[in-house]
Structure formats: structure tokens, C-alpha cells
Amino acid sequence: MSGFDAIVIGAGNGGLTAAATLAKGGAKTLLLERHNVPGGCATSFCRGRFEFEVALHQLSGMGDASFPGPLRSVLHGLDVLDRVEFVSMKNLYRLTIPGRLDITLPADRNGTVEALTKRFPAEGKRIKEFYDLVYEFFNQLISVIYMRDPEASSEKYPLYFKYAMASSQDLLDEYFNDPLLKASVAAYWGYMGLPPRYLSFSDLAALIFAYIEFKPYHIRNGSQALSNALIEKFTENGGEVRFNCGAQKIELENGAVSAVVTERGERIPTGCVVANISTPVLYNELIGVEESPKEKYEEMSGRTIGPSSFTLYIGMDCTPAELGIEETTNFIGAHDDFNHAFSQLRDIDEPAMILVSCFNVSDPGASPEGTCQIAVVDLQYLEPWLSIPPSRYAEEKYRYAAKVLDLVERVFPGFRSHIEEIEISTPITHVRYLGHPGGAFYGFDQHIKDSRLINPPVQPISGLFHAGAWAAGGGFQPTLASGASTGRAALKHLGMRGR
């Protein structure tokens, strides 16, 4: 078997942009994907007359042509922007806590401050000051971390040095009194999989900044359209892809990558591998505990596996308007205590906070005319699902789905009577399709103590690179960007310059 300059393992977001970057840069590249379609989470599947989006609810960091965000620049660099259509949303989200709160925040800084002030007038001054802080803090973070200002100091960037290691809860408590106001501001906690108590203020500020400044987007025809565009560009530039073909082993010679062995038993020589798989599987299984550097285990020790989700993919026989759904992104909380809600992700008794997203609101063509597709996402850890015997799995899945639908119906009455198709995924489904421990699609939990701001990941094996959620944190923007930057690093390793 003749070799490749580089082999990319996994065609999730990070693997796709790494492969596209390598092929564009002239590297002879092979992409191995265990599944039969590209995308990992960024994919879709069909049931009845619906094509369901698996993962994407709100794309961050896009911006438009006149004000491009960092993700738009990544996709522009890979020549796929003209192959995919991005649809912007006018609002960040509607947050409802039945009987107590119903608020919609526009994707606009002043609009968000106004909406919050209207609902919480006594705290109007502090609301404005908080959003000013988010912007000022985030600008300082960009100068220190991304622009690497060599003169960075606490005098020059006081907000960054004061709050970089603070929790979101610290700042919510410093600025606000009303728990419902704190909930309204921090509703995006689910996008990091950590509640305000554990979520760094840096991460919350980044989410708020990215979605307000560059607006939330989704992709016409779903994230599969972007995955397809990336794979097409990769093959047009000479890349080779094999589906239904997992990697089983990465071989090393003198501490450097020398080959990949596939699950079909084929040994393919290469001096460069980009892995788009979980860190534990990469080191424990593909490289092997004996060969893996101990620094990597030191880095992993104390880290915890992030959440997965329980998701209902629903095709409705009516339009969103008939259901009273006016926003693409609707968070519904059973209560306002998100720290407690987080502890509920480890049991399957009652859903604490769900996301109801309906693409048809911003893109009426997201399903056949007169219908709509809806995803209801409830973050969940794998553990409670593992304790269910296989004989009771289906029963438990439908029992819990009924509880989730009860919560949906508290905001959208009559919802159930319009269901035409329904498919349910649990954390076990994500383990099966992604191959990640815990079915964790954000990678490790991003606790403040594990922040890349203080602990940049180490990579001691020559020729081995890592892209995606386990390397750079979860979400479309970070994983797509991490693949592109990892691809550039791999090209440099190969002595090639990116084009």
C-alpha cells in the first residue's frame, strides 16, 4: 500500500476542515470515516417526508459579507462559502419559565439591554453596565489571548486579569439581584454544557458576544450541506475519502507517527495524522497505553467527560404559527436555578431545561410545505442510561420522552396532537454514532480549572495532531476553526505552505 502525506481520522467538523486545508495546501491526504456519511454531529437523517438536522441549532461567529465573523473567514479560506447558504435569525432566544418568565432577547446589543430593562426595570442600570462589561472584557481577552499582546499586563487589561478565571455565577451575583434576570442572561449555559457556577465568565462572555455581534445562523438544508460542501472541495483538491472505514491503530516509530491501520486490517504508511476523535480513544486505543506519553495522561487526569443529550426529532403536520412558535430558538426551564438544573442532567426523572428549536421560523423551506421540523434537546450525561437494562431501554426512552413533551406543552399547548414523525436519540445513540466516551459531543467538561487560557494542550508525538471538540472545545465554530488551524500546523510539519 503506498502512503499518504497525511491521514485524517474522522469526518466530523474538525476532521473535514483539517482535510480540506491539507488537500488545498497540496498534501496527499486520506480521510477515514467510520460512518457512511460525512459530518459526525453535523449531519442529517430522513424519516417519512422529513430530513432532520442532527445537531445545529445556532451557528456562532458567522457574520455577513459586510461584517464577517471569524467562522465566515475560515469557510471563505476553504472556498466553500458559495456552496452553502446561511440563514440568520433575528433573535437570540425566547426563554420561558412557565408561569414566571417569558422573555425574548433580540440579536442586538441595545435591543437585548432594552428587552431586559423592560422586564426588570429596577435593575436597568446594572443591565447596561453588565453588557458594557461583556464587550469590554471580551475585547481585552482578544488582545491578550488571540493577538498575544507582548505588553499585556493587569494595568493595561484590568478587566481581563480581574475576571478571566471568575465564574459566570460570580458576575451574575455581582451585577444582578433577581434570579429570573440572572436566568435570562445566562440561558446559553447549555451551549457549553456547564451551569453558571462552573462556567467561566470568559466562556459566557464569548457566547453572548459572538451571538450578538455576528448573529445566530443556521444552514439552509441543514449542517449536512456544509459537511457535503467540505468533502466535495476536499476531493476536488485531490483528497481521497473512505467511508465505512474506521481507523483502528496509529503506529509509531521512534516516537513519531509512521502508519495507520484501518478496521479492515489495512496498514497505510504516513508521517502525519490528524485525529478528529476523542482524547481517551486516541491515546488508550489507537496509540495504546504503553506507547502514549505520560504527559498526556497527566493532562487528562482530573478531567471529566462532558454531557451528551436526549433529543427528540419531530416532524409536525402543521406550520410553526399554528403551534404558536414564533422563535427559532426557545429555551424552556422547569425552574430558574440552572445550577440545580445541571445536577438533573445525571438523572432521567424530570427534564430541567430544554431547547425547542424550529428552523422553519427563519427558513420556511426546512420541511415540506404546511409542516415544520422541530428538535427538542435535553442535555444528559450517559451514566443514568447505562444503568437501564437493554430489555427496558425502549420503555424508559418513551417514558422520558413523554416527560419532555409535557414540558413542551406547558408553553405550546396541543403540541402532541400535531406530531407526524418522531425519532429519539439518547446518549447511547451518540456513543454509537460518534464513538466518543459518554457520547459527549462537546468533549471534556470545560471547567474553569481546565481552561485553555492556563492549560494549553500538549502534543508530544511528532506528526500527531488533534482537531475537534476534544482538542478545542465543542460547538460548530470552535471545531470547524480548530480543524483549519490544525490542518495549517500539519502542513507546516510537512514542510508545505497553505494556499
Ligand X SMILES: Cc1cc2nc3c(=O)[nH]c(=O)nc-3n(C[C@H](O)[C@H](O)[C@H](O)COP(=O)(O)OP(=O)(O)OC[C@H]3O[C@@H](n4cnc5c(N)ncnc54)[C@H](O)[C@@H]3O)c2cc1C
Kindly state the smallest distance separating residue 333's Cβ from ligand X, in Å. Answer: 17
Site string for ligand X, 139-178 (x = CB under 6 A): ----------------------------------------
- Which of 17/104 has CB closer to ligand X? 17
Binding mask 442-471 for ligand X (x = CB under 6 A): x-------------------------xx--
Q: Minimum Å distance from CB 431 to ligand X? A: 11
Closest distance between ligand X and the C-beta of residue 295, in Å? 22
Per the DSSP assignment, residues forming a β-bridge with 259 are 251, 269
Contacts of residue 391, Cβ cutoff 8 Å, sequence gap at least 6? none
The helix/strand/coil state of 445 is coil
DSSP of 16-43: HHHHHHHHHTT--EEEE-SSSSSBTTS-
Q: Is 56 in the site for ligand X (CB under 6 A)?
A: yes
Q: Are strands 50-53 and 91-97 parallel, antiparallel or unpaired?
A: unpaired
CB atoms within 10 A of CB 110: 11
Q: What is the per-residue binding string for ligand X in 225-264, x denoting contact by CB under 6 A?
A: ---------------------xx-----------------
Provide the minimum distance between the beta carbon of 356 and ligand X in the complex, in angstroms, as a whole number.
12
Least Å from the CB of residue 155 to ligand X: 36
Among 4, 338, 441, 444, contact with ligand X (rule: CB under 6 A): 441
- Indicate the SS3 state at residue 305: strand
**Residue of 19, 23, 27, 41 that binds ligand X (CB under 6 A):** 41
Judge residue 458's burial from the number of C-beta atoms within 10 Å of its C-beta, 0-12 exposed, 13-18 middle, 19 or more buried: exposed
Binding ligand X (rule: CB under 6 A), the pick from 74, 164, 312, 377 is: 377
Residue 222 touching ligand X (CB under 6 A): no
Which helix (H) or strand (E) segment holds residue 101: the answer is strand 101-106
What residues numbered 12-31 form the site for ligand X, per CB under 6 A?
12-14
Residue with cell 458594557: 132
Here's the x/- map for ligand X, 286-325, by CB under 6 A: it reads as -----------------------x-x--------------
The minimum distance between CB 111 and ligand X, in angstroms, equals 21
- Residue pair 16/38 in contact (Cβ under 8 Å)? The answer is yes
Cell of 103: 422573555
Q: Which residues, listed in sequence order, are joined to residue 8 by a DSSP beta bridge?
A: 31, 274
Non-local CB neighbours of 463 within 8 Å, separated by 6+ positions: 256, 257, 270, 271, 272, 273, 493
Q: What's the rounded Cα separation, in Å, for the pair 336 and 192? A: 18
Q: Is 474 a residue that touches ligand X (CB under 6 A)?
A: yes
For residue 116 the three cell numbers come to: 431586559
Q: State yes or no: residue 479 binds ligand X (CB under 6 A).
A: yes
Strands 308-316 and 372-380, how do they pair? antiparallel
Locate 112 and state its grid cell: 437585548
In angstroms, the Cα distances linking 92 to 195, 329, 330, 475, 490 are 19, 7, 9, 16, 36
Q: Considering the complex, what minimum distance in angstroms separates the CB of residue 352 from ligand X?
A: 17
Q: Which three cell numbers stand for residue 33?
A: 470515516
Q: Shortest distance, CB of residue 345 to ligand X, whole angstroms?
A: 14
- Count residues binding ligand X (CB under 6 A): 35
Residue choice 22, 44, 57, 112 for contact with ligand X (CB under 6 A): 57
Q: How far apart are CB 176 and ligand X at their closest, in Å?
A: 26
**Which span sits near ligand X by CB under 6 A: 141-149, 162-170, 298-306, 476-484?**
476-484
- The answer to whether residue 10 forms part of the interface with ligand X (CB under 6 A) is yes
Question: In three state form, how does the secondary structure of 176-191 look?
Answer: CCCHHHHHHHCHHHHH
Least distance in Å: CB of 125 to ligand X? Answer: 33
Binding residues for ligand X (CB under 6 A): 9-14, 32-35, 40-42, 55-58, 246-247, 276-277, 309, 311, 377, 434-435, 441-442, 468-469, 474-477, 479
